[in-house]
Amino acid sequence: MYRALTWWVMTRGADSSDVAAVAALATEPIVEVSTDPHDQWVLLNGQDVSRQIRTREVSAEVSAVSRVPQVRARLIAEQRAIIGGARPGIVAEGRDIGTVVAPAAQLKVFLTAASRARAVRRAPEVGATVDATESDQARRDRLDAAQSAMAGDAVLIDSTDLTLPEVIDAIARLARERAQLACAGGKSS
């Protein structure tokens, strides 16, 4: 969602460091996101921008846009509405989902990986070299540090040496365990 608004700001020719301009532009578009893991998309005013928002250019600007208080307020409210309306539940990802957006979530996972492993996975998405991707990630990690804290009740999973199916299995196992605890009347976080 932050990437979609960043793309919107960029296509309008605004400077992402101009807080007033970003705040004004951020109120304009309708941002919709798929909640179907088998059919993922992001729409901006009805236009599919799923590919456009995954570029290096958007990655370079998204931190500035996401720090604008009006942007954060709008998207946090929209994310909370999506999460609150999802039945029977939803898997949501983002730097501050477990600490800000959904602090009462039944299960929070803090997924991490070594910088190089992250870059190897992301480079094909953004169409850049692994080295350039790693450098870009390091910059974004520094800029987004305030929104990237691990929730105190989150489970840490280091995915450096795990495949995607292994990560999914680990998280699914945790979700099943939490559900069993909840059904048995146990306390879960």
Summarize the confidence of residues 83-104 as an average pLDDT: 90
Question: In whole angstroms, what is the distance from residue 101 CA to residue 80 CA?
Answer: 6
Three state DSSP letters for the chain: CHHHHHHHHHHCCCCCCCHHHHHHHHCCCCEEECCCCCCCCEEECCEECCCHHHCHHHHHHHHHHHCCHHHHHHHHHHHHHHHHHCCCCCCCCCCCHHHHHCCCCCCCEEEECCHHHHHHHHHHHHCCCHHHHHHHHHHHHHHCHHHCCCCCCCEEEECCCCCHHHHHHHHHHHHHHHHHHHHCCCCCC
Contact partners, residue 159, CB within 8 Å, separation at least 6:
111, 112, 113, 117, 166, 167
Residue 185 has a pLDDT of: 60
Please say if the pLDDT value at position 189 is more than 50. no
In the predicted model, what is the mean pLDDT of residues 78-98? 90
* Between 141 and 180, residue with greater pLDDT: 141
Class of domain 93-189: alpha beta
pLDDT > 70 in the chain, percent = 95
Does the domain at 1-89 match CATH 3.40.50.300? Answer given as yes
Q: What is the mean pLDDT of residues 129-155?
A: 90
- Provide the mean pLDDT of the chain: 91
pLDDT at 95 > cutoff 90: no
Residues 6+ positions from 30 with CB-CB distance below 8 Å: 43, 44, 45, 46
Same topology, domains 1-89 and 93-189? Answer is yes
pTM of the model: 0.82
Interval 12-36 mean pLDDT: 94
Asked if 108 and 155 count as a contact pair (C-beta separation under 8 A), the reply is yes
**110 pLDDT tier (thresholds 50, 70, 90):** very high
Task: Quickly state the pLDDT bin for 78 (edges 50, 70, 90).
Answer: very high
Question: Which residue ranges make up each domain of the chain?
Answer: 1-89, 93-189
CA distance between the termini of the chain: 26
Average pLDDT in the 134-152 region? Answer: 89
More confident site: 114 or 148: 114
pLDDT, mean of residues 159-168: 96
- CA gap 71, 48 in Å, rounded: 20
Compute the distance between CA of residue 76 and CA of residue 1 in angstroms, rounded to an integer: 10
Kindly state the tokens that stand for 81. Answer: 């509405």
